[in-house]
Amino acid sequence: MNNSYFYYGVLILGTLLFAFILSFILRRLLNLIIIKSSKRLKADPTNFSFLKNSVSILIYSLAIIFIFLKIPYLRTLGTALFAGAGIIAVVIGFATQNAFANIISGIFILIFKPFRVNDTIEFLNSTKGVVEEITLRHTIIRNFENRRVIIPNGNISDDTIINSSILDQKIRMHIVFSISYDSSIEKATAIIREECMNHPDYLDNRTKEEKQNDNPAVLIRLIELSDFALNLKAYVWAKDNATAYALKCDVLKSAFDRFNKEGIEVPFPYRTIVYKNDIEQQKTSL
């Protein structure tokens, strides 16, 4: 009897260890094949990535089935479980409904492709980054701090997604500048436009017709008359989201330097403070 237990224990551990090693090797091998094939064929790696992440589940499922078939007690237990499969299915269904929802959502992502691997996406809660991997249960997003955000697929299917890469990666960045009421709007506009166009990452997205009609390369509008400033918004194009953000930061700095040199005042809030003692003195003098 003890020898039987030892044999079955070795069988279980050996099968699970073999499944782990096989899964590890196949995932690594598939990962290399996916990277090379996607680059060579210029194909979307999303489908291949999903397939790679399904390999582990398939291998472990086969390993468990093998263990049940090889051990008589487990084979008998499996038959009993199969007889009561209806009740067990209901219990498992309630216990794992979130897991199944994530798997179904992952399949829908694969079929309908609201985003793909390497797309830049953003959620309403301001989570933003590049899709790195789509698994059966979750999606891994690399944000711009190089951290990995792991989001269950079920949550993604219920959320609104902003995809910056689904058709065209070009981005129109909106850059807001504030100048004082004493400054020249025309001069500030000219400085902003020059700094935007002089940036190496600036992209002229005008059509031939717009160029022929002398439409401005960088559109700048006065968008607000605030309490202490005039707010100008520049609409600047760049090739992708990361480039557009860097362009925005650079132009804000270079425009600020030009403003200081050429007499364009960058405003700050003014406050008038009235002391209570002064009010009392005024009442007394009256």
Confirm if 245 and 182 have CB atoms less than 8 A apart. no
**Residue among 155, 189, 173 at smallest CA distance from 237:** 173
Instruction: Return the closest-CA partner of residue 122 out of 157, 159, 147, 175.
Output: 159
What pTM was computed for the model? 0.58
pLDDT tens, position by position, for the chain (286 residues)? Answer: 556 767 777 778 888 888 888 888 887 787 777 666 655 545 556 656 666 667 777 888 888 878 777 777 666 665 655 555 555 555 555 555 677 778 788 878 877 788 888 888 888 888 889 998 888 788 999 988 889 999 998 888 888 888 887 777 888 999 999 999 989 999 999 999 999 999 999 999 888 888 888 889 899 999 999 888 999 999 999 988 889 999 999 999 999 999 999 999 988 776 667 666 655 565 566 5
Per the CB < 8 A criterion, the answer to whether 171 and 240 are in contact is yes
Kindly report the CA angle at 284 between 279 and 286, in degrees rounded to 5? 100
Cα separation of 189 and 182, whole Å?
14
The H-or-E segment that residue 67 falls in is helix 46-70
52: three-class secondary structure by DSSP: helix
What is the set of domains in the chain, with CATH numbers?
2-163 (no CATH), 171-261 (3.30.70.100)
